[in-house]
Amino acid sequence: MIISGVEVPQGSMMKKTKFSITREKRTRDYVRDRFISFSDEDAEGIVQPHNDALVISVLINKTHVKRILIDPSSSANIIRWKVVKQLGLLDQIIPTARVLNRFNMACETTKGEITLPINVANIVQYTKFYVIDGEMRYNALLERPWLHIMRALPSTLH
């Protein structure tokens, strides 16, 4: 061990032991037979360069919901209270109050949480959302762990 700029203690020293912690890697033992991929043709008609967000439409509880923001930097799935009301699922909201911080450090308190089935490309994934009553440009926000579960790589170019 090389120590620079630090006095080395004299006399008895404590023995240092290096620990290595490993985790069992979990891999999926299947490959989905349906893939969604993009080519240069898919980017035709889009004025480049652009800085648009990735916004999609999905089936939530068998209802087509538009304006879903895919936000890889978020760590919470969020849905508007108004959307849950329109889906007729207000009775399924579990009342829990959480404080969510936005990028500008403004806070929003949730009305509760709800687990909803999301159907994307015929893959149904049950997803927990935090319900907010505040104003939001999008109907819902899907976060980074959801992308991982769906094994998706978002492409904002296309």
Q: Which residue has the tokens 């492409």?
A: 155
Q: Which residues are 60's β-sheet partners? A: 63, 118
The verdict on residue 83 lying in a domain is: yes
Q: pLDDT tens for residues 45-87?
A: 777 776 777 888 889 988 999 999 888 778 889 999 999 999 9
Q: Which residues are 108's β-sheet partners? A: 100
The verdict on residue 4 lying in a domain is: no
Task: Count other C-beta atoms under 10 Å from residue 42's C-beta.
Answer: 12
Q: What pLDDT tens digit does each residue of the chain (158 aa) get?
A: 333 333 434 445 444 444 444 444 444 444 455 566 667 787 777 777 767 778 888 899 889 999 998 887 788 899 999 999 999 999 999 998 888 876 566 788 889 999 999 988 888 889 999 999 878 889 999 987 887 777 776 666 65
The verdict on residue 50 lying in a domain is: yes
* Residue 110, amino acid: T
Q: Is 147 exposed, middle or buried (0-12, 13-18, 19+ CB in 10 A)?
A: middle
Structural domains counted in the chain: 1
pLDDT in the model for residue 103: 58
Q: Is 100 exposed, middle or buried (0-12, 13-18, 19+ CB in 10 A)?
A: middle
pLDDT in the model for residue 34: 58
The verdict on residue 115 lying in a domain is: yes
Would you give the DSSP letter of residue 99?
E
* Residue 123, amino acid: I
The residue segments making up the domain with residue 68 are: 40-149
The verdict on residue 101 lying in a domain is: yes
Q: What is the CATH number of the domain that holds 127?
A: 2.40.70.10
pLDDT in the model for residue 6: 37
The verdict on residue 19 lying in a domain is: no
